[in-house]
Structure formats: C-alpha cells, structure tokens
Amino acid sequence: MVVHASLPADEQLFLWTPEDGFGFHEMGDIVENERSAHAVSFDPETLRVRTFPVTDFITNPTKRIFRVTLDSGRSVLVTKDHNVFTLDEHGGVTRLASEDAEGEHVMVPGTLPEAQATESTLDLVELFRGDEDVVAYASDGIGSANWSDVPSGSRSHYESRNSAPMNALGSATLPGDTRVAFKQSDARLPRRIPVSPELGWILGFYVAEGYARRKQVVFTQNDRGRLERVADWFEQYDTSLSWNELEEGAHQLTVCSALWSKVFRTLAGSGSEKNVPERAWNWSTDVLEAFLDGLLDGDGHRREERDTLYTANEALADRATYLGSRLGYQTSTYHRTRDQYVESTDTHLTGEEWAVDFYDGAHKRGQYVPNPSALLRDLRNDAGLTMADVADEVGFSSKSSVSNIENREYDTVKRDSLRRLRDCYAANGVDTARLDQILDANVRFDRVESVEDTGRVETTYDLEVQPRGRKIENFLGGFGGIFLSNTAGFIDPGYRGQVTLELSNLGTAPVALTPGMRISQLVFTELTSRSERPYGAERGSKYQDQDGPQASRIRGDREFGGEQ
C-alpha cells in the first residue's frame, strides 16, 4: 500500500518556480501559498531526474517528526511513515516507510537538472532596485521616477547629474548603458556584469576566504598568486585596491569599494552567513565549476581521490552538497566538534566543523545498488547462459559469485559488477534496458544510517506531483537532497458521492484479501472555516456525485480536448 507521507513546515525543498528559477523553499510556504512550482523528481520508469509540475498542495494533521540520516550525511525531517525509494528484486521502484528504512539503500540524485535559460549577466539595476543607498546614472536622463520620498534639494542634485536613487525608480525601464554607484561615490560600475567563470571563482573564494565590511571586501591567504588573481579581476573595473602583509607570511588584499561590498553581500551574504548565492542554481555549469574551485582554493584540501571543503557553516555544507550533485560529483558530508587552543589567551575554543567531500568517478560512496536479483536471473536465463558461463565472461572468481547475487545473499551489488553483468547479457542479445536505466540514469543509492525521533509534534504538509495523472509522486528535499514520496490526496471539502479506495501492491508477492480484513483507515479533520475553494462545478471537478468505482476522467481535461 502507498503509505501516507508528510514533512514539517520548515523542511526545505529544491524546486523550480517561474519567478526565481531553481532554488530552495520551505515546505509550509509552498503549501500555504499554493505557489506555482515544478518539483525536481525522478521518473520511476526511466530513472531520469528532471522537473515536473506540482499538481496539489496538502495540509495534514499534526504528527510526530523523525529525522532520517543517510551514510553520506544527507538527512530529512519527516513523519515516521513517510516513504523513501529503493529498488525491488526486479529492478522496479518501490517504497519504504522511513521507520523501516534503517540499513536500506534509498534514492538520492546523481545529478540535478541544469537551468534551461541560464543567467549570463548580473543586472545591478535589478539587483538593487528599491535600494536608497545605490544610485543609477544614465547619459540621456533617467526618465520617469517617483521623487516623493526624495528631499527636494537632493532631487535637484540627482537630476543635474542625470541620476536617481534606486528607491525612486520603481519599475522604470533604464537604458542598457546605465551605470551604477554607491551614494556619494564617484566610482561607477556598468549596469551589467558578465556572469563568467572568473566571477564564479571570485565569489567562491570570497565565501570561503573573504569577508565584507560596509565599504570594503577583504581577502586573506598565504598564496599571494590567488590574491593577485582576485586583484586582476577587480582592476578591470578600475577598482581601488590595497595590499597588506600580515604575520606568518599571510597576504591581505582589500577591495576599497562600498558598491562591490554591497554586490558581494547581496549575492553571497557576509560573516558566518556566507553561502552559495541563491541565483547560482540558474548559472551555467562552467560558472558553477569555477565557483566550487574558488571554494576549495579558499578553504579546501585537494587529494588525488577527492577534494574536501571545510566550513563552520552548516547551511554552506548543505548547499555545497547540492552543488556537488548539480555538477555530478559523489558527495559525503560529515561534521565534528573541534577543540582549538588559543595560545595568546591560554584558552580552548570549541566549535562545529563541517566537511564536504567531492568524489569524481568511482568510489564506495554511491557505488552500491539495491540488488535486482530476480531481474539478473531472468536476463541470464534469456541469454541461455549458466552461472559458470557468466562467471567466465565477466571475470568473476567462480559461479558462486553469480549465485550469491541471484539468490540475494547480498542486499546490494556494486555498480561495477552490475555493469559487467549488463555488458555480458547485452553481448548475448538480451534486452538490458532496465539495467541501462539503473546504471546510466540520474539517481544514486545511499544507505540509511538512522531514523531518530526529534521530539517535535506539529502540523505536516505535502505536495502532489502527478502531472496529467502520471505516477511521478516524488520530490527532492532535506539536507543535501533526498527523494521523498508525495502522499495521496484527501477527500476535498464540498465533495458528494461514494469514495474510491485505491490499493496498490508494490511488493513482489501476492497479498490475499479476505472478507472483514481491515485494510485501510478513514481520518476526519475538522475545518475551522468554510472551504474557500470547495469541490464542485465551479472548480470543474470531474467526480462529483459519482456512484461506484470510476475509471479515470482525465480525458475530460482541457489539455486532452475536453471542457474540464
């Protein structure tokens, strides 16, 4: 049976919205405001990861909240009966209630979709529209502006210089040659800054190694060559820079610009809140690769087998994990408590440190797949091969290796072993389409390490992702990103008629139903006010007053030529 699934209001989702493109949103905000959105989901038939429209918004009763944590450090807050996804012995997608998932390998993204329309330029007018500290200059005049909040003396000053503060411009259209400056400063920047790999690297380096004050951005590191790279980029905009040599061989570069400071703080934050820019998820892959390089050059460690980012910021560790998925890396995120001795004060400071590992290529993380034992046995039989034949062809030590897989002595199988078996069966003329999808699509599998009661009891929320009746029924959320099952819908307020009970056996064995067996429950939720959108004719509802079991009436929807 499909089990009910819910998330608390503050759990994050990774969605696409028409206003912002890809980005993060809280579950409660999406549901309560019924925001138009597309979920990042995997297709159960192909295992490809892409976006699908959210088709319904659901508020559920109060429930206890649990934390599901994976070996890789990914985690999510859900109700204990919430479903996560794995594969059955036939290679089909099946669900696990989180309370039963400990030790199981569940689906996480191998890659995230790239924005179809990437942001190629950073528009400073749009970035600072409404900001009274930033001024726009246009050689042919600003045109329409709302001067009601600008002192009359200041207005004359602005107009004499063909300028206006951003808070006076509203939605006014400005020419492309508009230049932008901080109030009371003559240093101006072009309206549009190219979103280039070099800007990506500078921003990543700032998040890892820099800090911003009101009128300056400061970078400090022992490697002067990296700071010279920063300086070269700012010099193209005639920015004032200063150098300082610190103790123990460290170099410090100060970007003396209130406007650049505001740009960097607006994009990536400041202090302990620095993070991957919200708009970065709509940048091209080469810019994001450069951003990650900047992070690692600033506060990372590179090894032959992996790169590691270190940070005291849990939110940055979360976004960096998503960034790794976006770029196709296998990631592992963990944290520890560090005790640092400060000699000057003879004290010990305790703090949390997060580390995010990025693996490029094969590694044990993400290299195990739930064992599709029955599928592999069927493929071998279709190929007309014995276990000994297969062992010889793929290079296994003996036929017992094949037997152990097919008889499910192991719950998982290595991707490399699965790939060798796939190649063997394909070479013998067998259709290996499902193995191709398991191996080559955009999902990976991660072991559930623990399911823990958080002690929280609160209202929970859910989304429906079932475009045109198609069974997608999953979305991406949580720390680092885990695929989560959406719930079935409710009986809508205003509905009249007989209720349809939907049952689905997602296992591999038949389940006998006998008269009188309790197979479902009906939960009543009392409304505190009348429904604002009751089920019925005004909503074009298709099943009002239905009698008995009904076939789907989706063909009555407008996209299929109907009137609904």
431 is written with which tokens? 């259709």
**Residues 295 and 309 sit within 8 Å (Cβ to Cβ):** yes
- With CA atoms as reference, report the closest residue to 482 among 70, 116, 153: 70
194 is written with which tokens? 């190219």
- With CA atoms as reference, report the closest residue to 370 among 112, 99, 84: 84
User: Beta-carbon neighbour count of residue 413 at 10 Å?
Assistant: 20
Distances (CA, A) of 264 to 22, 50, 127, 424, 548: 20, 31, 11, 53, 61
Catalytic one of 245, 304, 502, 532: 502
Distances (CA, A) of 71 to 105, 454, 512: 10, 19, 36
> What are the start-end ranges of the E strands in 34-133?
38-42, 49-53, 56-70, 75-79, 83-87, 93-97, 105-109, 121-123
* 26 noted as active-site residue: no
- With CA atoms as reference, report the closest residue to 435 among 452, 421, 456, 454: 421
Q: How many residues make up the chain in this entry?
A: 564
Helix (H/G/I), strand (E/B), else coil: 285 = helix
Tell me 277's DSSP state: -
Beta bridge partners of 97: 83
Beta bridge partners of 8: 460
Q: What is the per-residue DSSP string for 336-351?
A: EEEEEEETTTTEEEEE
Q: Which residue has the tokens 């610009």?
A: 257
**Residues 504 and 101 sit within 8 Å (Cβ to Cβ):** no
Is 178 exposed, middle or buried (CB count within 10 Å of its CB: 0-12, 13-18, 19+)?
buried
How many angstroms separate the CA atoms of 153 and 254, rounded?
A: 35
How many angstroms separate the CA atoms of 243 and 223, rounded?
A: 13
Range 225-228, long-range pairs (CB < 8 A, 24+ positions): 226/297, 227/251, 227/252, 227/253
- With CA atoms as reference, report the closest residue to 475 among 39, 93, 5: 39
Residue 111's Cα: distance from chain center in Å? 10
How many angstroms separate the CA atoms of 418 and 406, rounded?
A: 12
Residue 398's Cα: distance from chain center in Å? 43
**b/e code 456-483 from CB counts within 10 Å (16+ = b):** eeeebbbbbbbbeeeebbbbbbbbbbbb
Residues annotated as part of the active site: 502
